[in-house]
Amino acid sequence: MGTAPEFEFCVVIDDDDDILMASRLLLRRLFRDVAIANTPDEALPLIAARTPDVVLLDANFARGATDATEGLAWLDRLLAIDPEMVVVMITAHAGVQVAVTAMKRGATDFVSKPWSNDRLLATVRTAASLRRSRSATNAPAPIAGGSPLLGASPAMARVHSLIARAAPTDANVLVLGENGTGKELVARELHRQSLRADKVMLTVDLGAVSEDLIDSELFGHVKGAFTDARTDRVGRIQAADGGTLFLDEIGNLPLRLQPKLLTVLEQRRVTPVGANKPVPVNIRVVAATNLPPEKLRDEAHFRQDLLFRLNTVEIDLPPLRERPEDVPELIDHYLEHYARRYARPVPALSPAARRALLTHHWPGNVRALRHALERAVILARDVPLEPDDFALVPAAARVVAAAPAPPPAPDDFNLERVERRLVEEALKKHGYNISLAAAELGLSRAALYRRMEKHGL
Ligand SMILES: Nc1ncnc2c1ncn2[C@@H]1O[C@H](COP(=O)(O)OP(=O)(O)OP(=O)(O)O)[C@@H](O)[C@H]1O
Protein backbone atom coordinates (compact mmCIF):
# COMPACT_ATOMS: atom_id res chain seq x y z
CA MET A 1 0.00 0.00 0.00
CA GLY A 2 1.86 3.00 -1.26
CA THR A 3 5.22 1.34 -0.62
CA ALA A 4 7.85 0.40 -3.20
CA PRO A 5 7.30 -2.91 -5.00
CA GLU A 6 8.59 -5.88 -3.02
CA PHE A 7 9.69 -7.97 -5.97
CA GLU A 8 11.51 -7.50 -9.24
CA PHE A 9 9.99 -9.16 -12.21
CA CYS A 10 6.81 -10.95 -13.19
CA VAL A 11 5.64 -12.29 -16.55
CA VAL A 12 1.97 -12.70 -17.39
CA ILE A 13 1.04 -14.93 -20.34
CA ASP A 14 -2.56 -14.84 -21.48
CA ASP A 15 -4.26 -14.53 -24.85
CA ASP A 16 -6.76 -12.03 -23.50
CA ASP A 17 -5.47 -8.45 -23.79
CA ASP A 18 -7.85 -7.15 -21.16
CA ILE A 19 -6.53 -9.66 -18.66
CA LEU A 20 -2.96 -8.67 -19.55
CA MET A 21 -3.59 -4.95 -19.10
CA ALA A 22 -5.54 -5.34 -15.89
CA SER A 23 -3.05 -7.72 -14.33
CA ARG A 24 -0.09 -5.56 -15.33
CA LEU A 25 -1.66 -2.57 -13.64
CA LEU A 26 -2.41 -4.52 -10.53
CA LEU A 27 0.85 -6.45 -10.28
CA ARG A 28 2.93 -3.29 -10.50
CA ARG A 29 2.11 -2.92 -6.84
CA LEU A 30 4.22 -5.99 -6.19
CA PHE A 31 6.81 -6.00 -8.97
CA ARG A 32 9.15 -3.37 -10.31
CA ASP A 33 8.58 -4.79 -13.81
CA VAL A 34 5.64 -6.69 -15.20
CA ALA A 35 6.09 -8.09 -18.72
CA ILE A 36 3.10 -9.35 -20.65
CA ALA A 37 2.82 -11.76 -23.56
CA ASN A 38 -0.03 -13.15 -25.59
CA THR A 39 1.59 -16.54 -26.04
CA PRO A 40 4.25 -18.58 -24.27
CA ASP A 41 6.36 -18.35 -27.44
CA GLU A 42 6.42 -14.59 -27.08
CA ALA A 43 7.28 -14.89 -23.42
CA LEU A 44 10.28 -17.19 -23.83
CA PRO A 45 12.82 -14.49 -24.78
CA LEU A 46 11.65 -12.36 -21.84
CA ILE A 47 12.12 -15.26 -19.48
CA ALA A 48 15.47 -16.20 -20.99
CA ALA A 49 16.75 -12.64 -20.60
CA ARG A 50 15.85 -12.29 -16.99
CA THR A 51 14.64 -14.76 -14.37
CA PRO A 52 11.15 -13.79 -13.29
CA ASP A 53 10.05 -14.09 -9.67
CA VAL A 54 6.73 -15.42 -10.91
CA VAL A 55 5.20 -16.46 -14.23
CA LEU A 56 1.43 -16.31 -14.50
CA LEU A 57 0.45 -18.77 -17.20
CA ASP A 58 -2.97 -19.14 -18.77
CA ALA A 59 -4.16 -22.73 -19.05
CA ASN A 60 -5.78 -22.40 -22.49
CA PHE A 61 -4.64 -20.61 -25.64
CA ALA A 62 -6.31 -22.23 -28.65
CA ARG A 63 -9.71 -20.72 -29.33
CA GLY A 64 -12.47 -22.57 -27.54
CA ALA A 65 -10.05 -24.85 -25.66
CA THR A 66 -10.90 -25.56 -22.06
CA ASP A 67 -8.98 -28.73 -21.25
CA ALA A 68 -5.74 -26.93 -20.41
CA THR A 69 -3.64 -29.33 -22.51
CA GLU A 70 -1.69 -26.49 -24.04
CA GLY A 71 -1.13 -24.64 -20.79
CA LEU A 72 0.05 -27.80 -19.06
CA ALA A 73 2.45 -28.61 -21.89
CA TRP A 74 3.88 -25.11 -21.56
CA LEU A 75 4.14 -25.55 -17.84
CA ASP A 76 6.31 -28.63 -18.46
CA ARG A 77 8.48 -26.68 -20.88
CA LEU A 78 8.97 -23.75 -18.55
CA LEU A 79 9.94 -26.07 -15.72
CA ALA A 80 12.32 -27.91 -18.01
CA ILE A 81 14.03 -24.57 -18.71
CA ASP A 82 14.22 -23.71 -15.02
CA PRO A 83 12.99 -26.31 -12.51
CA GLU A 84 12.94 -23.58 -9.88
CA MET A 85 10.54 -21.43 -11.84
CA VAL A 86 7.50 -20.34 -9.91
CA VAL A 87 4.51 -20.71 -12.20
CA VAL A 88 1.01 -19.71 -11.16
CA MET A 89 -1.56 -21.25 -13.45
CA ILE A 90 -4.51 -19.17 -14.56
CA THR A 91 -7.56 -21.39 -14.82
CA ALA A 92 -10.64 -19.96 -16.47
CA HIS A 93 -12.96 -22.56 -15.11
CA ALA A 94 -12.67 -23.19 -11.43
CA GLY A 95 -12.29 -26.88 -12.22
CA VAL A 96 -10.36 -28.45 -9.44
CA GLN A 97 -8.89 -30.99 -11.82
CA VAL A 98 -6.86 -28.58 -13.94
CA ALA A 99 -5.58 -26.82 -10.87
CA VAL A 100 -4.59 -30.02 -9.15
CA THR A 101 -3.01 -31.50 -12.28
CA ALA A 102 -1.04 -28.29 -12.77
CA MET A 103 0.24 -28.42 -9.24
CA LYS A 104 1.16 -32.06 -9.46
CA ARG A 105 3.19 -31.18 -12.51
CA GLY A 106 5.04 -28.48 -10.67
CA ALA A 107 2.94 -25.31 -10.76
CA THR A 108 3.26 -23.43 -7.51
CA ASP A 109 -0.31 -22.31 -7.34
CA PHE A 110 -3.34 -21.37 -9.36
CA VAL A 111 -5.80 -18.48 -9.68
CA SER A 112 -9.23 -18.78 -11.17
CA LYS A 113 -10.65 -16.22 -13.56
CA PRO A 114 -12.42 -13.97 -12.83
CA TRP A 115 -10.30 -13.15 -9.80
CA SER A 116 -10.63 -10.61 -7.06
CA ASN A 117 -7.68 -8.25 -7.01
CA ASP A 118 -6.90 -8.99 -3.39
CA ARG A 119 -6.86 -12.70 -4.00
CA LEU A 120 -4.63 -12.42 -7.03
CA LEU A 121 -2.21 -10.21 -5.12
CA ALA A 122 -2.16 -12.57 -2.14
CA THR A 123 -1.54 -15.63 -4.32
CA VAL A 124 1.17 -13.99 -6.39
CA ARG A 125 2.87 -12.47 -3.36
CA THR A 126 3.07 -15.85 -1.65
CA ALA A 127 4.40 -17.41 -4.84
CA ALA A 128 7.03 -14.70 -5.26
CA SER A 129 8.20 -15.17 -1.68
CA LEU A 130 8.56 -18.85 -2.39
CA ARG A 131 10.76 -18.08 -5.37
CA ARG A 132 12.96 -16.01 -3.15
CA SER A 133 13.34 -18.71 -0.57
CA ARG A 134 13.81 -21.39 -3.22
CA SER A 135 16.39 -19.52 -5.19
CA ALA A 136 18.24 -18.77 -2.03
CA THR A 137 18.44 -22.32 -0.85
CA ASN A 138 18.20 -24.93 -3.53
CA ALA A 139 21.22 -26.25 -5.28
CA PRO A 140 21.35 -25.21 -8.93
CA ALA A 141 20.59 -28.76 -10.01
CA PRO A 142 17.68 -29.22 -7.66
CA ILE A 143 17.37 -32.58 -6.04
CA ALA A 144 13.90 -34.02 -6.09
CA GLY A 145 12.04 -32.76 -3.06
CA GLY A 146 13.96 -29.52 -2.62
CA SER A 147 16.88 -28.48 -0.48
CA PRO A 148 18.14 -30.79 2.24
CA LEU A 149 17.42 -30.25 5.89
CA LEU A 150 20.91 -30.00 7.31
CA GLY A 151 22.13 -30.42 10.85
CA ALA A 152 23.48 -33.30 12.89
CA SER A 153 23.34 -31.72 16.34
CA PRO A 154 21.50 -33.86 18.90
CA ALA A 155 18.50 -31.55 18.53
CA MET A 156 18.42 -31.93 14.76
CA ALA A 157 19.08 -35.68 14.97
CA ARG A 158 15.91 -35.87 17.03
CA VAL A 159 14.07 -33.81 14.39
CA HIS A 160 15.28 -36.12 11.60
CA SER A 161 14.23 -39.17 13.56
CA LEU A 162 10.78 -37.72 14.31
CA ILE A 163 10.31 -36.88 10.63
CA ALA A 164 11.32 -40.40 9.57
CA ARG A 165 8.88 -41.95 12.03
CA ALA A 166 5.96 -39.59 11.49
CA ALA A 167 6.18 -39.13 7.72
CA PRO A 168 4.86 -42.52 6.56
CA THR A 169 1.87 -42.29 8.90
CA ASP A 170 -1.02 -39.98 8.17
CA ALA A 171 -0.65 -38.32 11.56
CA ASN A 172 -1.05 -34.56 11.59
CA VAL A 173 2.16 -32.82 12.54
CA LEU A 174 2.67 -29.46 14.19
CA VAL A 175 6.07 -27.86 13.64
CA LEU A 176 7.12 -25.26 16.18
CA GLY A 177 10.03 -22.87 16.01
CA GLU A 178 11.14 -19.30 15.67
CA ASN A 179 11.16 -17.66 12.25
CA GLY A 180 13.82 -19.01 9.95
CA THR A 181 14.45 -22.25 11.86
CA GLY A 182 13.38 -24.44 8.92
CA LYS A 183 9.72 -25.22 9.63
CA GLU A 184 8.78 -25.18 5.98
CA LEU A 185 11.70 -27.44 5.12
CA VAL A 186 10.49 -29.90 7.73
CA ALA A 187 7.01 -29.83 6.19
CA ARG A 188 8.48 -30.55 2.75
CA GLU A 189 10.57 -33.35 4.16
CA LEU A 190 7.51 -34.88 5.85
CA HIS A 191 5.69 -34.83 2.53
CA ARG A 192 8.68 -36.20 0.64
CA GLN A 193 9.04 -39.15 2.98
CA SER A 194 5.30 -39.80 3.14
CA LEU A 195 3.15 -42.23 1.18
CA ARG A 196 1.63 -39.14 -0.43
CA ALA A 197 4.93 -38.02 -1.94
CA ASP A 198 3.67 -38.39 -5.50
CA LYS A 199 0.57 -36.35 -4.68
CA VAL A 200 0.27 -32.64 -4.30
CA MET A 201 1.59 -30.63 -1.36
CA LEU A 202 -0.26 -27.35 -1.03
CA THR A 203 0.71 -24.48 1.22
CA VAL A 204 -1.50 -21.84 2.73
CA ASP A 205 0.49 -19.11 4.46
CA LEU A 206 -2.04 -17.84 6.94
CA GLY A 207 0.26 -14.95 7.71
CA ALA A 208 0.10 -13.74 4.11
CA VAL A 209 -3.59 -14.13 3.28
CA SER A 210 -5.72 -11.26 4.50
CA GLU A 211 -8.16 -12.27 7.20
CA ASP A 212 -11.33 -11.80 5.17
CA LEU A 213 -9.99 -14.03 2.39
CA ILE A 214 -8.87 -16.92 4.56
CA ASP A 215 -12.34 -18.44 4.68
CA SER A 216 -12.83 -18.97 0.97
CA GLU A 217 -9.10 -19.57 0.44
CA LEU A 218 -9.22 -22.58 2.74
CA PHE A 219 -12.74 -23.85 2.37
CA GLY A 220 -13.73 -22.50 -1.06
CA HIS A 221 -17.07 -20.94 -1.87
CA VAL A 222 -19.96 -21.39 -4.23
CA LYS A 223 -21.13 -18.81 -6.71
CA GLY A 224 -23.28 -16.19 -5.02
CA ALA A 225 -22.14 -17.04 -1.48
CA PHE A 226 -21.23 -13.36 -1.05
CA THR A 227 -21.07 -10.26 -3.22
CA ASP A 228 -17.71 -11.00 -4.86
CA ALA A 229 -18.34 -14.71 -5.33
CA ARG A 230 -19.03 -14.63 -9.06
CA THR A 231 -18.01 -18.23 -9.66
CA ASP A 232 -17.42 -21.33 -7.61
CA ARG A 233 -14.01 -21.40 -6.00
CA VAL A 234 -12.23 -24.52 -4.94
CA GLY A 235 -10.62 -24.10 -1.55
CA ARG A 236 -7.12 -25.26 -0.73
CA ILE A 237 -8.37 -28.04 1.51
CA GLN A 238 -10.26 -29.58 -1.37
CA ALA A 239 -7.47 -28.92 -3.85
CA ALA A 240 -5.02 -30.77 -1.60
CA ASP A 241 -7.21 -33.89 -1.65
CA GLY A 242 -5.06 -37.01 -1.61
CA GLY A 243 -1.96 -35.03 -0.64
CA THR A 244 -0.55 -32.86 2.11
CA LEU A 245 -1.84 -29.47 3.20
CA PHE A 246 0.79 -27.28 4.84
CA LEU A 247 -0.79 -24.60 7.01
CA ASP A 248 2.00 -22.14 7.68
CA GLU A 249 1.59 -19.59 10.46
CA ILE A 250 -1.40 -21.48 11.85
CA GLY A 251 -1.36 -19.08 14.82
CA ASN A 252 -2.87 -16.51 12.47
CA LEU A 253 -6.01 -18.57 11.83
CA PRO A 254 -8.77 -16.35 13.19
CA LEU A 255 -10.61 -17.76 16.21
CA ARG A 256 -13.88 -17.66 14.30
CA LEU A 257 -12.52 -20.08 11.66
CA GLN A 258 -10.85 -22.48 14.06
CA PRO A 259 -14.02 -24.56 14.71
CA LYS A 260 -14.52 -24.86 10.97
CA LEU A 261 -11.05 -26.31 10.44
CA LEU A 262 -11.61 -28.60 13.39
CA THR A 263 -14.76 -29.93 11.74
CA VAL A 264 -12.84 -30.65 8.54
CA LEU A 265 -10.20 -32.58 10.45
CA GLU A 266 -12.72 -34.52 12.49
CA GLN A 267 -15.19 -35.35 9.76
CA ARG A 268 -12.82 -35.40 6.77
CA ARG A 269 -15.30 -33.31 4.87
CA VAL A 270 -15.27 -29.69 3.81
CA THR A 271 -18.23 -27.42 3.17
CA PRO A 272 -17.43 -24.48 0.89
CA VAL A 273 -18.86 -21.12 1.98
CA GLY A 274 -22.47 -20.94 0.85
CA ALA A 275 -22.69 -24.65 -0.02
CA ASN A 276 -25.08 -26.94 1.74
CA LYS A 277 -23.37 -30.22 0.98
CA PRO A 278 -20.00 -31.20 2.39
CA VAL A 279 -17.39 -32.71 0.08
CA PRO A 280 -15.25 -35.61 1.35
CA VAL A 281 -11.53 -34.87 1.53
CA ASN A 282 -8.51 -36.95 2.31
CA ILE A 283 -5.69 -34.71 3.46
CA ARG A 284 -2.73 -34.93 5.76
CA VAL A 285 -2.17 -31.68 7.58
CA VAL A 286 1.19 -30.29 8.59
CA ALA A 287 0.90 -27.00 10.42
CA ALA A 288 3.61 -24.63 11.61
CA THR A 289 3.81 -21.69 13.92
CA ASN A 290 6.34 -19.44 15.53
CA LEU A 291 4.07 -18.76 18.48
CA PRO A 292 5.70 -19.58 21.78
CA PRO A 293 4.09 -22.68 23.39
CA GLU A 294 2.48 -20.68 26.19
CA LYS A 295 0.58 -18.58 23.68
CA LEU A 296 -0.45 -21.62 21.70
CA ARG A 297 -1.74 -23.26 24.85
CA ASP A 298 -3.82 -20.20 25.69
CA GLU A 299 -7.47 -20.91 24.90
CA ALA A 300 -8.08 -17.20 24.34
CA HIS A 301 -5.73 -17.36 21.38
CA PHE A 302 -6.02 -20.85 20.06
CA ARG A 303 -8.72 -23.47 20.54
CA GLN A 304 -7.23 -26.35 22.43
CA ASP A 305 -9.44 -28.95 20.76
CA LEU A 306 -8.04 -27.84 17.40
CA LEU A 307 -4.51 -27.87 18.79
CA PHE A 308 -4.97 -31.49 19.88
CA ARG A 309 -6.06 -32.41 16.38
CA LEU A 310 -3.10 -30.68 14.81
CA ASN A 311 -0.32 -31.82 17.09
CA THR A 312 -0.63 -35.59 17.02
CA VAL A 313 3.11 -35.33 16.51
CA GLU A 314 4.91 -32.17 17.53
CA ILE A 315 8.30 -31.25 16.12
CA ASP A 316 10.12 -28.51 17.91
CA LEU A 317 12.87 -26.79 15.95
CA PRO A 318 15.32 -25.20 18.34
CA PRO A 319 16.74 -21.78 17.49
CA LEU A 320 20.10 -21.87 15.77
CA ARG A 321 21.87 -20.25 18.74
CA GLU A 322 21.04 -23.37 20.76
CA ARG A 323 22.68 -25.72 18.27
CA PRO A 324 25.92 -24.06 17.20
CA GLU A 325 27.22 -27.51 16.17
CA ASP A 326 25.05 -27.14 13.06
CA VAL A 327 26.60 -23.84 12.00
CA PRO A 328 29.76 -25.22 10.29
CA GLU A 329 27.76 -27.56 8.06
CA LEU A 330 25.38 -24.76 7.12
CA ILE A 331 28.30 -22.43 6.39
CA ASP A 332 29.98 -24.94 4.11
CA HIS A 333 26.77 -25.81 2.33
CA TYR A 334 25.62 -22.27 1.66
CA LEU A 335 29.08 -20.87 0.83
CA GLU A 336 29.45 -23.53 -1.79
CA HIS A 337 25.91 -23.02 -2.98
CA TYR A 338 26.29 -19.27 -3.45
CA ALA A 339 29.77 -19.53 -4.89
CA ARG A 340 28.34 -21.78 -7.57
CA ARG A 341 25.33 -19.56 -8.09
CA TYR A 342 27.41 -16.40 -8.52
CA ALA A 343 30.22 -18.17 -10.36
CA ARG A 344 32.86 -17.33 -7.76
CA PRO A 345 35.41 -19.55 -6.10
CA VAL A 346 34.27 -20.84 -2.72
CA PRO A 347 35.71 -18.25 -0.33
CA ALA A 348 37.79 -19.30 2.64
CA LEU A 349 36.88 -18.05 6.11
CA SER A 350 39.41 -16.74 8.59
CA PRO A 351 39.34 -18.47 11.99
CA ALA A 352 37.98 -15.22 13.45
CA ALA A 353 35.15 -15.13 10.94
CA ARG A 354 34.26 -18.74 11.68
CA ARG A 355 34.26 -17.99 15.38
CA ALA A 356 32.07 -14.93 14.84
CA LEU A 357 29.52 -16.93 12.88
CA LEU A 358 29.57 -19.71 15.40
CA THR A 359 29.01 -17.52 18.42
CA HIS A 360 26.57 -15.09 16.84
CA HIS A 361 23.11 -14.95 18.42
CA TRP A 362 21.24 -15.44 15.09
CA PRO A 363 17.84 -14.00 15.98
CA GLY A 364 16.79 -14.65 12.36
CA ASN A 365 18.11 -18.23 12.61
CA VAL A 366 19.16 -20.24 9.55
CA ARG A 367 17.53 -17.79 7.14
CA ALA A 368 19.70 -14.97 8.48
CA LEU A 369 22.86 -17.07 8.40
CA ARG A 370 22.12 -17.99 4.82
CA HIS A 371 21.61 -14.33 3.88
CA ALA A 372 24.83 -13.33 5.64
CA LEU A 373 26.73 -15.94 3.64
CA GLU A 374 25.15 -14.88 0.38
CA ARG A 375 26.03 -11.23 1.01
CA ALA A 376 29.58 -12.16 1.88
CA VAL A 377 30.02 -14.21 -1.31
CA ILE A 378 28.72 -11.32 -3.41
CA LEU A 379 30.52 -8.45 -1.72
CA ALA A 380 33.78 -9.86 -0.45
CA ARG A 381 36.90 -8.77 -2.32
CA ASP A 382 39.65 -10.34 -0.26
CA VAL A 383 39.87 -13.83 1.06
CA PRO A 384 39.83 -15.20 3.62
CA LEU A 385 36.58 -13.62 4.69
CA GLU A 386 36.82 -11.70 7.94
CA PRO A 387 34.11 -11.01 10.54
CA ASP A 388 33.56 -7.57 8.98
CA ASP A 389 32.37 -9.21 5.77
CA PHE A 390 29.29 -10.45 7.57
CA ALA A 391 27.93 -7.21 9.05
CA LEU A 392 26.96 -9.01 12.25
CA VAL A 393 25.48 -7.02 15.08
CA PRO A 394 27.34 -8.29 18.14
CA ALA A 395 25.17 -9.88 20.80
CA ALA A 396 26.36 -7.31 23.34
CA ALA A 397 25.10 -4.45 21.18
CA ARG A 398 21.80 -6.24 20.85
CA VAL A 399 21.40 -6.48 24.60
CA VAL A 400 22.07 -2.77 24.95
CA ALA A 401 19.69 -2.04 22.09
CA ALA A 402 17.08 -4.24 23.73
CA ALA A 403 16.86 -1.78 26.59
CA PRO A 404 13.99 0.73 26.30
CA ALA A 405 14.39 2.39 22.93
CA PRO A 406 16.14 5.72 23.17
CA PRO A 407 14.20 8.64 21.69
CA PRO A 408 15.15 9.24 18.06
CA ALA A 409 18.36 11.19 17.87
CA PRO A 410 17.22 14.60 16.68
CA ASP A 411 20.25 15.03 14.47
CA ASP A 412 20.09 11.64 12.82
CA PHE A 413 17.68 11.82 9.95
CA ASN A 414 19.47 9.26 7.86
CA LEU A 415 16.62 7.24 6.41
CA GLU A 416 18.56 4.01 6.19
CA ARG A 417 19.62 4.14 9.83
CA VAL A 418 16.18 5.17 11.00
CA GLU A 419 14.63 2.34 9.02
CA ARG A 420 17.09 -0.15 10.41
CA ARG A 421 16.39 0.96 13.96
CA LEU A 422 12.62 0.81 13.52
CA VAL A 423 12.78 -2.63 11.98
CA GLU A 424 15.04 -3.88 14.75
CA GLU A 425 12.86 -2.40 17.47
CA ALA A 426 9.68 -3.84 16.00
CA LEU A 427 11.35 -7.25 15.81
CA LYS A 428 12.50 -7.08 19.39
CA LYS A 429 9.18 -5.85 20.64
CA HIS A 430 7.51 -8.90 19.16
CA GLY A 431 10.18 -11.41 20.13
CA TYR A 432 11.26 -11.76 16.50
CA ASN A 433 7.80 -12.87 15.44
CA ILE A 434 7.87 -11.82 11.80
CA SER A 435 4.11 -11.63 11.30
CA LEU A 436 3.53 -9.40 14.31
CA ALA A 437 6.54 -7.18 13.60
CA ALA A 438 5.49 -6.83 9.95
CA ALA A 439 1.96 -5.88 10.98
CA GLU A 440 3.30 -3.27 13.40
CA LEU A 441 5.52 -1.78 10.69
CA GLY A 442 2.73 -1.85 8.12
CA LEU A 443 4.70 -4.22 5.89
CA SER A 444 4.06 -7.63 4.41
CA ARG A 445 6.21 -10.44 5.79
CA ALA A 446 8.11 -10.59 2.53
CA ALA A 447 8.82 -6.85 2.66
CA LEU A 448 10.03 -7.18 6.21
CA TYR A 449 12.34 -10.05 5.26
CA ARG A 450 13.82 -7.88 2.52
CA ARG A 451 14.54 -5.11 4.97
CA MET A 452 16.04 -7.53 7.49
CA GLU A 453 18.23 -8.86 4.75
CA LYS A 454 19.22 -5.36 3.64
CA HIS A 455 20.21 -4.34 7.16
CA GLY A 456 21.83 -7.64 8.08
CA LEU A 457 19.36 -8.30 10.89
N1 LIG B 1 18.31 -27.21 8.74
C2 LIG B 1 18.41 -26.47 7.62
N3 LIG B 1 19.23 -26.85 6.62
C4 LIG B 1 19.36 -26.12 5.50
N5 LIG B 1 18.70 -24.98 5.27
C6 LIG B 1 17.85 -24.55 6.23
C7 LIG B 1 17.67 -25.28 7.44
N8 LIG B 1 16.77 -24.61 8.20
C9 LIG B 1 16.39 -23.55 7.49
N10 LIG B 1 17.04 -23.49 6.32
C11 LIG B 1 16.89 -22.45 5.29
O12 LIG B 1 16.54 -21.25 5.94
C13 LIG B 1 15.46 -20.62 5.30
C14 LIG B 1 14.27 -20.53 6.22
O15 LIG B 1 13.73 -21.80 6.36
P16 LIG B 1 12.15 -22.03 6.44
O17 LIG B 1 11.44 -21.13 5.48
O18 LIG B 1 11.90 -23.48 6.36
O19 LIG B 1 11.92 -21.49 7.91
P20 LIG B 1 10.58 -21.22 8.68
O21 LIG B 1 10.82 -21.66 10.07
O22 LIG B 1 9.44 -21.85 7.94
O23 LIG B 1 10.50 -19.64 8.62
P24 LIG B 1 9.23 -18.67 8.82
O25 LIG B 1 8.64 -19.00 10.15
O26 LIG B 1 9.86 -17.34 8.80
O27 LIG B 1 8.30 -18.93 7.68
C28 LIG B 1 15.14 -21.45 4.08
O29 LIG B 1 15.76 -20.88 2.98
C30 LIG B 1 15.71 -22.80 4.40
O31 LIG B 1 16.11 -23.49 3.27
One-letter amino acid for residue 89 of the chain? M
CATH number of 320-392: 1.10.8.60
| Residue 404 confidence (pLDDT) | 47
Query: What are the Cα distances from residue 128, in Å, to 8, 15, 54, 87, 441?
Result: 9, 23, 6, 10, 21
Among 135, 163, 178, 366, name the best residue to mutate to test ligand 1's pocket (greatest count of ligand atoms within 8 A of Cβ).
Answer: 366
Beta carbons of 317 and 181 less than 8 angstroms apart: yes
CATH number of 395-457: 1.10.10
For residue 407, report the distance from its CA to the centre of ligand 1, in Å: 34
Domain 7-137 has CATH 3.40.50.2300: yes
For residue 368, report the distance from its CA to the centre of ligand 1, in Å: 9
Q: Cis omega (within 30 of 0) on the bond before 5? A: no
Beta carbons of 286 and 329 less than 8 angstroms apart: no
Regarding an ipTM greater than 0.95, the answer is yes
Cα–Cα dist 185/140, whole Å: 17
Write down the pTM of the prediction.
0.67
Ligand 1, residue 333: give the atom nearest the CA: 4
| Domain residue extents for the chain | 7-137, 160-318, 320-392, 395-457
The set of protein residues with a Cβ atom below 6 angstroms from ligand 1 is 133, 136-137, 147, 149-151, 177, 179-185, 288, 290, 366-367, 370, 434
Beta carbons of 204 and 217 less than 8 angstroms apart: yes
Q: Do domains 7-137 and 160-318 have the same CATH topology?
A: yes
Average pLDDT of each block of 10 consecutive residues along the chain (457 residues)? 75 92 92 92 86 92 79 90 87 70 84 82 84 49 54 94 95 95 95 91 84 86 76 84 94 93 95 90 96 89 94 95 94 91 88 92 92 86 85 57 48 75 84 78 77 77
Q: Which architecture does CATH list for 160-318? A: 3-Layer(aba) Sandwich (3.40)
Question: Residues, the chain, total?
Answer: 457
427-434 contacts, C-beta under 8 A, 24 or more apart: 427/363, 427/452, 427/457, 428/401, 428/402, 431/292, 432/178, 432/179, 432/363, 432/364, 433/179, 433/290, 433/291, 434/179, 434/207, 434/290
